[in-house]
């Protein structure tokens, strides 16, 4: 077993490496498939041991799948079936979440959650949830009367009859957490490989041999955290197949102007398909409605539909009758990896030693991620008989956002670096300095969406209609590539189609005079 060489992320050079074929076979002691919050939580914990560690992510960035499009809720743990993996890891993960976010410099708020009954018949359901939560070991559960609920949340609908209060409920930024987990792991030796799609896999009894889109990979322990594709990985190696169904959930997002409508996350009584339509503040000050729950066949289908978005509005109106429909700024959808047994699939596969599953991770997977990361990292380290590292680098701390600085802090920042004084995203007050730092940080951005998730540039009211050309210009300069090559989220999602003069000439008859200029279509 060899000590993994520390890899330092260096902006443009590192991003260029991430698009090239491997120089020969990659060999690791342990390799993780999947760069979502689960895979990155495992990677961070496993970087505490002396071993060579890789992570393969098929997309252009971490947190590009389920981890970027979910409810961002830290669940208390009252809903999961007692004795299930969901119940066990939810409660454990909830207790780990606040110190983890503090260590990684990720926003987190324990805003509490309320499950609301909208009829007297529903009060029995609240008592059942409370009893289930107490069996699961959840602290801070109580039933609120109608009057107590209305004092806490005056905007709640008139038919609300009572609520289950969960004091340990919270909210976080799931994509910021995933990026921070990956960055901390990279600082401690993780070899992160993006744009690396895994194809065929075989096991020779000692080594796993993987064919990927960037070249061959070999490892002794293989950790399957591939989200909706986890069954594709598992079923190549085990005679006991698993089945993962993509469950699509659609959401509405509202502007910060309505951020004070509710302080707690408001649930309606859950159903067999999930926890229902919620109304929740976010750590960034916006308001979130959703999700729907629709089982589909396509593992990449994240489109939104008029029917499902209308469903959210209809159901959410019971919680929020005065829902301000003029304050919506965007809608989106994400996929949950639903396993047939309706529980997480965790641990080493019985008929394939060295294959460790983190499969079927749907809600409350975000909450459970810290606990799953610790548990499966320890399992992998024991199988490899790896010693603990004597030193572990602390997490990288991003610069404080300009929008959160006091006046004196802003003035000092601008004096030290004038780029702090140039606002690129007006809606979210994101500066040029923050965008450049987001590119050159550990696990830095190389796409417009990558910038968005690290700085909030483009997440505001105008949804990037003002700042996109300027973000492209900075990405082009820092990465040393043409703006024509830059994408929204990788995988061919180019934003610019050509230069104005060249585009005009390509569409004119040969005899036409096309002596136009050569400006890129970027509105700079």
Catalytic residues: 75
256 vs 70: CA distance, rounded Å: 19
Residue 459: both structure tokens together: 């997440």
Collapsed DSSP state (helix, strand, coil) of residue 172: strand
Residue 25: both structure tokens together: 């076979």
Exposure string for 105-127, b = 16+ CB within 10 A, e = fewer:
ebebebbbbbbbbbeeebbeebe
Q: Which residue reads 């990155």 in tokens?
A: 40
What is the pairing mode between strands 287-290 and 244-254?
antiparallel
Residue 393: both structure tokens together: 């680098």
Torsion angle defined by CA atoms of residues 194, 198, 201 and 204, in that order, rounded to the nearest 10 degrees:
-10
85 vs 176: CA distance, rounded Å: 25
Residue 95: both structure tokens together: 């207790």
DSSP 26: E
389 vs 411: CA distance, rounded Å: 42
Can you list the alpha helix ranges (DSSP code H) found in 58-210? 85-104, 122-136, 146-152, 174-187
Distances in whole angstroms, Cα of residue 472 to Cα of each of 271, 297, 399, 492? 44, 35, 21, 16
Of the candidates 175, 178, 156, 174, which has an alpha carbon nearest to the alpha carbon of residue 165? 156
Contact 130, 112 (CB under 8 A): no
Residue 242: both structure tokens together: 């698993």
What is the pairing mode between strands 170-172 and 73-74?
antiparallel
Q: Distance between the two ends of the chain, CA-based, in angstroms?
A: 52
Query: Can you name the residues that pair with 356 across neighbouring β-strands?
Result: 223, 348
Query: Can you name the residues that pair with 114 across neighbouring β-strands?
Result: 165, 266
What is the pairing mode between strands 26-33 and 215-224?
parallel
Can you list the alpha helix ranges (DSSP code H) found in 188-247? 230-234
């Amino acid at each position: 077993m060899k000590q993994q060489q520390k890899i330092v992320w260096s902006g443009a050079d590192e991003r260029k490496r991430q698009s090239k074929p491997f120089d020969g076979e990659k060999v690791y002691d342990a390799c993780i498939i999947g760069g979502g919050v689960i895979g990155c939580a495992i990677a961070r914990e496993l970087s505490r041991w002396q071993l060579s560690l890789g992570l393969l992510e098929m997309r252009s960035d971490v947190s590009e799948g389920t981890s970027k499009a979910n409810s961002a809720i830290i669940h208390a743990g009252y809903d999961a079936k007692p004795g299930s993996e969901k119940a066990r890891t939810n409660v454990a993960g909830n207790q780990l979440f606040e110190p983890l976010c503090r260590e990684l410099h990720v926003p987190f708020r324990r805003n509490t959650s309320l499950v609301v009954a909208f009829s007297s018949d529903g009060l029995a359901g609240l008592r059942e949830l409370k009893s289930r939560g107490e069996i699961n070991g959840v602290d801070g559960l109580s039933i609120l009367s109608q009057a107590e609920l209305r004092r806490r949340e005056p905007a709640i609908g008139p038919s609300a009859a009572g609520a289950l209060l969960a004091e340990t409920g919270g909210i976080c930024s799931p994509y910021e957490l995933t990026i921070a987990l990956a960055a901390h792991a990279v600082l401690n030796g993780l070899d992160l490989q993006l744009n690396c799609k895994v194809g065929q896999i075989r096991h020779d009894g000692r080594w796993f041999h993987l064919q990927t889109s960037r070249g061959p990979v070999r490892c002794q322990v293989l950790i399957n955290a591939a989200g909706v594709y986890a069954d594709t990985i598992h079923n190549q190696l085990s005679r006991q197949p698993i089945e993962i169904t993509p469950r699509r959930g659609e959401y509405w997002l509202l502007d910060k102007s309505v951020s004070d409508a509710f302080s707690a996350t408001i649930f309606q009584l859950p159903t067999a398909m999930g926890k229902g339509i919620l109304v929740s503040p976010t750590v960034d000050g916006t308001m979130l409605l959703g999700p729907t729950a629709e089982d589909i066949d396509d593992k990449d289908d994240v489109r939104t539909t008029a029917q499902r978005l209308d469903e959210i509005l209809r159901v959410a109106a019971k919680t929020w009758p005065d829902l301000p429909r003029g304050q919506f700024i965007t809608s989106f959808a994400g996929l949950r990896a639903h396993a047939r047994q309706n529980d997480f699939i965790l641990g080493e596969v019985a008929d394939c030693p060295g294959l460790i599953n983190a499969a079927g991770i749907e809600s409350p997977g975000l909450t459970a991620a810290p606990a799953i990361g610790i548990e499966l990292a320890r399992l992998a380290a024991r199988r490899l008989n790896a010693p603990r590292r004597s030193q572990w680098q602390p997490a990288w701390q991003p610069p404080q956002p300009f929008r959160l600085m006091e006046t004196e802090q802003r003035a000092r920042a601008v004096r030290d670096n004038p780029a702090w004084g140039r606002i690129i995203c007006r809606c979210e007050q994101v500066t040029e300095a923050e965008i450049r730092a987001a590119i050159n940080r550990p696990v830095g951005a190389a796409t417009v969406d990558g910038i968005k998730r690290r700085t909030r540039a483009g997440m505001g009211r105008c949804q990037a209609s003002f700042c996109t050309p300027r973000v492209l210009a900075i990405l082009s300069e820092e990465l040393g590539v043409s703006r024509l090559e830059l994408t929204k989220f990788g995988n061919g999602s180019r934003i610019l189609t050509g230069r104005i003069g060249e585009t005009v000439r390509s569409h004119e008859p040969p005899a036409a005079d096309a002596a136009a200029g050569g400006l890129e279509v970027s509105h700079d």
